[in-house]
Amino acid sequence: MNRQANLYVDPYMGPEYNSSQVPAQVPDLEAAFKYGNDCQALIHLWLENLTGFRLPSNMLCYEMFNDPIFFRTVQEEDMILGDVVWLGSPDKSSMAEYTPVFDANGQITNWDECPINHMGIYTGKDAWHKDPKILHASAAEGNNVAEPLSRLMRYRNYSVLQGVRRLDTQRLIKRLGLQAMLESPLFKLTDMY
Protein backbone atom coordinates (compact mmCIF):
# COMPACT_ATOMS: atom_id res chain seq x y z
CA MET A 1 0.00 0.00 0.00
CA ASN A 2 1.13 3.55 -0.68
CA ARG A 3 2.79 5.30 2.31
CA GLN A 4 0.31 8.17 1.98
CA ALA A 5 -2.58 5.74 2.50
CA ASN A 6 -0.99 4.38 5.70
CA LEU A 7 -1.76 7.71 7.41
CA TYR A 8 -5.47 6.94 7.13
CA VAL A 9 -5.52 3.24 7.99
CA ASP A 10 -5.00 1.89 11.49
CA PRO A 11 -7.17 -1.12 12.39
CA TYR A 12 -6.47 -0.66 16.13
CA MET A 13 -6.58 3.12 16.58
CA GLY A 14 -9.07 4.27 13.91
CA PRO A 15 -10.26 6.32 12.23
CA GLU A 16 -13.50 4.47 12.79
CA TYR A 17 -16.25 4.55 10.19
CA ASN A 18 -18.88 7.07 11.27
CA SER A 19 -21.58 8.04 8.77
CA SER A 20 -22.34 11.27 10.64
CA GLN A 21 -18.77 12.52 10.35
CA VAL A 22 -19.00 14.32 7.00
CA PRO A 23 -16.40 16.85 5.77
CA ALA A 24 -17.84 19.77 7.78
CA GLN A 25 -17.32 17.78 11.02
CA VAL A 26 -13.85 16.44 10.15
CA PRO A 27 -11.45 19.35 9.56
CA ASP A 28 -8.28 17.30 9.94
CA LEU A 29 -6.83 13.84 10.46
CA GLU A 30 -6.75 14.31 14.24
CA ALA A 31 -10.53 14.83 14.27
CA ALA A 32 -10.97 11.75 12.06
CA PHE A 33 -9.02 9.61 14.54
CA LYS A 34 -10.97 11.07 17.46
CA TYR A 35 -14.52 11.00 16.02
CA GLY A 36 -14.32 8.87 12.87
CA ASN A 37 -15.11 9.74 9.27
CA ASP A 38 -17.33 8.75 6.37
CA CYS A 39 -16.13 8.19 2.80
CA GLN A 40 -16.70 11.84 1.84
CA ALA A 41 -14.63 13.18 4.73
CA LEU A 42 -11.86 10.70 3.91
CA ILE A 43 -11.73 12.02 0.33
CA HIS A 44 -11.52 15.61 1.58
CA LEU A 45 -8.71 14.81 4.02
CA TRP A 46 -6.73 12.78 1.49
CA LEU A 47 -6.93 15.42 -1.23
CA GLU A 48 -5.98 18.19 1.18
CA ASN A 49 -2.96 16.20 2.40
CA LEU A 50 -1.94 15.39 -1.17
CA THR A 51 -2.46 18.83 -2.74
CA GLY A 52 -2.61 21.38 0.06
CA PHE A 53 -6.07 22.40 -1.15
CA ARG A 54 -9.19 21.90 1.00
CA LEU A 55 -12.39 21.32 -0.92
CA PRO A 56 -15.44 23.25 0.28
CA SER A 57 -17.02 21.24 3.12
CA ASN A 58 -20.40 21.28 1.38
CA MET A 59 -18.92 19.49 -1.63
CA LEU A 60 -20.16 15.97 -0.97
CA CYS A 61 -20.29 12.80 -3.04
CA TYR A 62 -22.77 13.97 -5.69
CA GLU A 63 -21.25 17.44 -5.93
CA MET A 64 -17.71 16.09 -6.37
CA PHE A 65 -18.86 13.66 -9.05
CA ASN A 66 -20.54 16.40 -11.08
CA ASP A 67 -18.15 19.27 -10.42
CA PRO A 68 -16.65 20.78 -13.60
CA ILE A 69 -14.37 23.23 -11.77
CA PHE A 70 -12.30 21.09 -9.41
CA PHE A 71 -12.52 17.65 -11.05
CA ARG A 72 -12.08 16.14 -14.48
CA THR A 73 -13.07 12.70 -15.74
CA VAL A 74 -10.40 10.04 -16.30
CA GLN A 75 -10.61 6.46 -17.54
CA GLU A 76 -10.06 3.57 -15.14
CA GLU A 77 -6.91 2.47 -17.00
CA ASP A 78 -5.44 5.99 -16.61
CA MET A 79 -5.83 6.25 -12.83
CA ILE A 80 -3.01 7.80 -10.81
CA LEU A 81 -2.47 8.27 -7.08
CA GLY A 82 -5.26 10.37 -5.60
CA ASP A 83 -7.94 9.80 -8.22
CA VAL A 84 -11.44 9.49 -6.76
CA VAL A 85 -13.52 6.40 -7.59
CA TRP A 86 -17.33 6.30 -7.36
CA LEU A 87 -19.15 2.98 -6.99
CA GLY A 88 -22.80 2.06 -7.16
CA SER A 89 -25.43 -0.60 -7.58
CA PRO A 90 -26.69 -2.20 -10.81
CA ASP A 91 -30.25 -1.71 -9.49
CA LYS A 92 -30.17 2.05 -10.03
CA SER A 93 -30.05 4.32 -13.05
CA SER A 94 -26.87 5.92 -14.34
CA MET A 95 -25.68 9.26 -13.00
CA ALA A 96 -26.73 10.86 -16.29
CA GLU A 97 -30.35 9.83 -15.58
CA TYR A 98 -30.40 10.78 -11.88
CA THR A 99 -31.96 14.09 -10.84
CA PRO A 100 -31.28 15.08 -7.24
CA VAL A 101 -33.90 16.82 -5.12
CA PHE A 102 -32.50 19.28 -2.57
CA ASP A 103 -34.05 20.53 0.66
CA ALA A 104 -33.81 24.13 1.94
CA ASN A 105 -30.39 23.36 3.47
CA GLY A 106 -28.98 22.09 0.18
CA GLN A 107 -29.08 18.44 1.24
CA ILE A 108 -30.17 15.76 -1.22
CA THR A 109 -33.52 14.28 -0.12
CA ASN A 110 -33.69 11.45 -2.68
CA TRP A 111 -30.26 10.03 -1.94
CA ASP A 112 -31.71 6.50 -1.95
CA GLU A 113 -32.32 6.89 -5.71
CA CYS A 114 -28.76 8.03 -6.44
CA PRO A 115 -26.74 5.50 -8.45
CA ILE A 116 -23.65 6.26 -6.33
CA ASN A 117 -23.41 4.45 -3.00
CA HIS A 118 -19.75 4.91 -2.12
CA MET A 119 -16.47 6.55 -3.03
CA GLY A 120 -12.79 5.90 -2.44
CA ILE A 121 -9.27 6.93 -3.45
CA TYR A 122 -6.96 5.13 -5.86
CA THR A 123 -3.67 4.44 -4.05
CA GLY A 124 -1.80 2.31 -6.59
CA LYS A 125 -1.80 -1.24 -7.89
CA ASP A 126 -2.03 -4.39 -5.79
CA ALA A 127 1.46 -5.93 -5.92
CA TRP A 128 0.29 -9.47 -6.62
CA HIS A 129 -2.71 -9.10 -8.88
CA LYS A 130 -2.06 -5.69 -10.44
CA ASP A 131 -5.55 -4.73 -9.31
CA PRO A 132 -6.23 -1.07 -8.42
CA LYS A 133 -6.07 -0.53 -4.64
CA ILE A 134 -8.82 1.68 -3.22
CA LEU A 135 -8.68 3.45 0.14
CA HIS A 136 -12.19 3.90 1.53
CA ALA A 137 -14.15 4.32 4.75
CA SER A 138 -15.72 0.89 5.22
CA ALA A 139 -18.94 0.47 7.17
CA ALA A 140 -18.45 -3.32 6.96
CA GLU A 141 -14.92 -3.21 8.44
CA GLY A 142 -15.72 -0.33 10.79
CA ASN A 143 -12.72 1.77 9.74
CA ASN A 144 -10.70 3.00 6.76
CA VAL A 145 -9.28 0.18 4.64
CA ALA A 146 -7.34 -0.18 1.42
CA GLU A 147 -8.36 -3.13 -0.69
CA PRO A 148 -8.33 -4.24 -4.32
CA LEU A 149 -11.08 -2.69 -6.41
CA SER A 150 -12.20 -6.15 -7.57
CA ARG A 151 -12.80 -7.23 -3.95
CA LEU A 152 -14.70 -4.04 -3.13
CA MET A 153 -16.86 -4.50 -6.23
CA ARG A 154 -18.00 -7.94 -5.02
CA TYR A 155 -20.50 -6.10 -2.81
CA ARG A 156 -23.67 -5.63 -4.85
CA ASN A 157 -24.06 -1.99 -3.75
CA TYR A 158 -20.54 -1.25 -5.04
CA SER A 159 -20.48 -3.52 -8.10
CA VAL A 160 -20.73 -0.78 -10.74
CA LEU A 161 -17.88 1.65 -11.34
CA GLN A 162 -19.83 4.87 -11.86
CA GLY A 163 -16.80 6.99 -12.61
CA VAL A 164 -13.28 8.14 -11.85
CA ARG A 165 -12.37 11.81 -11.37
CA ARG A 166 -9.10 13.62 -10.79
CA LEU A 167 -8.66 16.83 -8.87
CA ASP A 168 -7.52 19.17 -11.66
CA THR A 169 -4.56 20.94 -10.07
CA GLN A 170 -3.65 22.85 -13.23
CA ARG A 171 -7.13 24.36 -13.44
CA LEU A 172 -7.12 25.16 -9.71
CA ILE A 173 -3.83 26.99 -9.96
CA LYS A 174 -5.08 29.08 -12.87
CA ARG A 175 -8.51 29.70 -11.38
CA LEU A 176 -7.65 30.19 -7.73
CA GLY A 177 -3.98 31.16 -7.79
CA LEU A 178 -2.96 28.31 -5.49
CA GLN A 179 0.81 28.62 -5.72
CA ALA A 180 1.26 26.28 -2.75
CA MET A 181 -0.06 23.51 -4.98
CA LEU A 182 3.04 23.82 -7.17
CA GLU A 183 4.92 21.93 -4.46
CA SER A 184 2.32 19.19 -3.99
CA PRO A 185 2.97 15.55 -5.00
CA LEU A 186 -0.23 15.47 -7.05
CA PHE A 187 0.84 18.49 -9.10
CA LYS A 188 4.12 16.78 -9.93
CA LEU A 189 2.28 13.58 -10.96
CA THR A 190 -0.33 15.30 -13.12
CA ASP A 191 2.22 17.66 -14.63
CA MET A 192 3.65 14.67 -16.51
CA TYR A 193 0.45 14.18 -18.50
pLDDT computed for residue 113 by the predictor: 92
pLDDT computed for residue 5 by the predictor: 58
CA angle at residue 171 from 117 to 162, to 5 degrees?
20
pLDDT in tens, the chain (193 residues): 555 556 666 654 568 889 899 999 999 988 998 999 999 999 999 998 888 888 889 899 999 999 988 899 999 999 999 999 999 999 888 888 999 999 998 889 998 999 999 999 999 887 776 889 999 999 988 889 889 999 999 999 999 999 999 998 777 777 665 555 455 554 444 443 3
How do residues 24-60 score in pLDDT, each as one tens digit? 999 998 899 899 999 999 999 999 888 888 888 989 9
pLDDT computed for residue 73 by the predictor: 95
Q: How far apart are CA 145 and CA 135, in angstroms?
A: 6
Q: Per residue in 144-179, is it b (16+ CB within 10 Å) or e — as a string?
A: bbbbbbeebbeeeebebebbbbbbbbeebbeeeebe
Q: How far apart are CA 124 and CA 80, in angstroms?
A: 7
The answer to whether the pTM exceeds 0.85 is: no
